[in-house]
Amino acid sequence: MSKIYDVIIIGAGPAGLSAGLYAGRSRLSTLIIEKAREGGQIVNTSEIANYPGSLEEESGPALIERMKSQAKRFGAETVYDTVSEVELEGDVKTIKCLANTYQAKTVILANGAYPTPIGCPGEREFTGRGVSYCATCDGAFFEDLEVYVVGGGDSAVEEALFMTKFARKVTVVHRRDELRACKSIQEKAFANPKIAFLWDSVIKELKGEELLDTMIVKNVKTGEQTEVKADAEDGMFGVFVFIGFRPQTALYEGKVKMQNYYIVTDENMNTSIPGVFAAGDIRVKSLRQVVTAASDGAIAATQVEKYLEAEACSVI
Amino acid sequence: MLVVDKETFGPEVLEAEGYVLVDFFGDGCAPCAALMPAVEAFSEKYGDQIKFTKLNTTKARRLAISQKVLGLPVIAIYKGGEKVDELVKDDATEANIEAMIQKYI
């Protein structure tokens, strides 16, 4: 625990990796702490079509792989550890993890967000047994089976389209009577013969023997509840959930200023604590995309450099 | 780590003596690929006490489903032809896997 880094970046998604790249290029001693694997939510995305310069039909993992090696090339270190406690006040910030404790003069919070669960009985129990939040991971299991995709935004409809590569039939379950996804994606979905829609509907319960085979769907307009059972031949179906994200901010509650669980920053990514910055999906912002996460990371790292320069001057 | 497939899963895992660890992965599964080096490292460390195997489910979809594996990654422990323990998806972290291995050695 002897080394004090210039900056510790918590989270290795697009925001964290972009911050790592910029910090590394500025010759700041940089540590990225990642609890599981680089990429964040983007690892679960089958195609990144809207990131400027991304290759045609490039997957999330492939894009992240390039971001990762780019950050590494400029000297950012990465450790795999889970942050358990943070002390953010003062000139030296302490980040306690399960395996080790790390210290730095500044911190960039780039934990990102995780998929919002449906929140119904059976969901947790059947995760990995029919319920999934990752089409690229689990889509292939549902070859020639029926799949329900929950949500109506860009990612839900894009993943529904992706699932038609495997599934016999894909039904989009959406709580409203129209999609929120952008028009170009909607058009593709409406034109795809394998995709059906269950409007005004929410899933109330997921059930099964060992694998998911039954669900209760409620029509939010009529209040009517219907039991949907798997085709007898199949004996199971899949439910893929894409209904938005929640910020991973539990560690920072009561420490930095938040609004509705998101961290509040100014346009330079400053949080309410000097020397603590936030970047990416974790902060209050209007558009949560790879491109805006990468932008946040770049700004945060640049501000870290300015903050360190100012601190150095004030010491002298 | 011993690579198993739909033909060898029976003899190498289900009919094997003692505890067998199986890393269920898939071709398009980035989290699986990211986790694999950690499991490989554990096989170096604990390989003389537990048999380490890996199964590409993309080429053995029916077998995976028969083992109640429908979401990746899954790190499972088998004994006497039965799955006795498993870590699924987000629970399959390096720390959790090592803790699970230590329960069976």
ipTM value: 0.77
Closest CA to B70 of A187, A240, A297, A314: A240
Segment A216-264, tens digit of pLDDT: 999 999 999 999 999 999 999 999 999 988 999 999 999 999 999 999 9
What is the distance between the alpha carbons of residues B69 and B54, in angstroms, rounded to a whole number? 13
Of A82, A128, A236, the CB nearest to B89: A128
Is A209 contained in some domain?
A: yes
d(CA A309, CA B15): 64
Query: Does residue A11 contact residue A34 with C-beta atoms inside 8 Å?
Result: yes
| List of chain B residues whose C-beta atoms are within 8 Å of the C-beta of residue A124 | none
Query: Which one of A37, A140, A212 has the shortest CB-CB distance to B34?
Result: A37
Cross-chain Cβ contact A61/B90 below 8 Å: no
Residue whose C-alpha is closest to residue A32's, from A10, A64, A47, A62: A10
- Looking at the fold, whether A205 and A281 belong to one and the same domain comes out as no
The closest CB to that of B71, out of A37, A98, A138, belongs to A138
Question: Does residue A121 lie within any of the structural domains?
Answer: no
For residue A252, what are the domain limits? 4-115+245-315
- Three-state SS for A276? strand
Residue A3: how many CB atoms within 10 A of its CB?
10
Residue A20 or residue A48, greater confidence: A20
What's the CA angle centered on B24, arms B20 and B27, to 5 degrees? 150
pLDDT reported for residue A50: 86
Containing A186, the helix (H) or strand (E) segment is: helix A183-191
Residues A212 and A266 in one domain: no
- What pLDDT is attached to residue A141? 92
- Give the Cα-Cα-Cα angle A167, A171, A176 (nearest 5 degrees): 155
CB contact A246 to B (< 8 Å): no
Q: How high is the pLDDT of residue B57?
A: 95
Q: Which residues of A137-149 are buried (b: 16+ CB within 10 A; e: fewer)?
A: bbbbbbeebbbbb
B27 in contact with A, Cβ within 8 Å: yes
Q: Is the pLDDT of residue A272 over 90?
A: yes
Q: Is residue A98 pLDDT above 90, yes or no? A: no
Would you say residue A141 lies in a domain? yes
Q: Would you name the residues of A annotated as active-site residues?
A: 134, 137-138
Q: How many angstroms separate the Cα of A90 from the Cα of each of A87, A102, A104, A273?
A: 8, 15, 11, 9
Indicate whether A100 and A8 sit together in one domain. yes
User: Cβ separation of B26 and A129 shorter than 8 Å?
Assistant: no
DSSP H or E stretch at residue A156: helix A154-163
Give the tens place of pLDDT for each residue, A153-203. Answer: 998 999 999 999 999 999 999 999 999 999 999 999 999 999 999 999 999
A283: domain CATH number is: 3.50.50.60
pLDDT at res. A1: 53
Percentage of residues in chain A having pLDDT higher than 70:
99
Shared-domain flag, residues A11 and A69 = yes
Q: What is the mean pLDDT of residues A70-82?
A: 92
A142 and A218 part of one domain: yes
Average pLDDT over residues A138-149: 94
Do residue A209 and residue A294 come from a single domain? no
User: A211, B68: Cβ pair inside 8 Å?
Assistant: yes
Chain A residues in contact with B26 (beta carbon < 8 A): 137-138, 140
**CB-CB neighbors (< 8 A) of B65 in chain A:** 141, 211, 236
Dihedral sign, Cα of residue A253, residue A256, residue A261, residue A262:
negative
Domain boundary among A241, A256, A271: A241
Q: How far, in Å, CA of B58 to CA of A140, rounded?
A: 7
β-bridge pairing B74-79 and B51-56: unpaired
Cβ of A137 and B71 within 8 Å? yes
Which residues of chain A lie closer than 8 angstroms to B72, CB-CB? 128, 137-138
- Residue among A61, A80, A131 whose CB faces B30 most closely: A61
* pLDDT-above-90 percentage for chain A: 81
Nearest residue on chain A to B93, alpha-carbon basis: A36
Residue of B nearest to A211 (CA): B68
Is the per-residue pLDDT at A34 higher than 80?
A: yes
- In eight-state DSSP terms, residue A53 is T
Q: Which of B59, B70, B88 to mutate to test the interface with A (most CBs of A within 10 A)?
A: B70
Whether A69 and A82 share a structural domain: yes
Residue at which a domain ends, from A212, A241, A270: A241
Of all residues in chain B, the one with the smallest CA distance to A82 is B95
Given a cut of 70, whether residue A212 has pLDDT beyond it is yes
**A253 and A236 in a common domain:** no
Count other Cβ atoms within 10 Å, centred on residue A87. 14
Backbone phi, then psi, for A231, in 5-degree steps? -50, 135
Number of domains in chain A: 2
**Is B41 an interface residue toward A (CB < 8 Å)?**
no
Residue A296 has φ and ψ, to the nearest 5°, of -55, -45
According to the model, what pLDDT value does residue A315 have? 64
pLDDT at A36 over 60: yes
Last residue of a domain, one of A181, A207, A241: A241
Print pLDDT tens along chain B (105 aa): 999 999 999 999 999 999 999 999 998 787 788 788 889 999 999 999 999 999 999 999 999 999 999 999 999 999 999 999 999 988 898 889 999 999 999
Give the span between the Cα atoms of A46 and A137, in whole angstroms: 9
Closest CA to A304 of A22, A13, A40, A96: A22
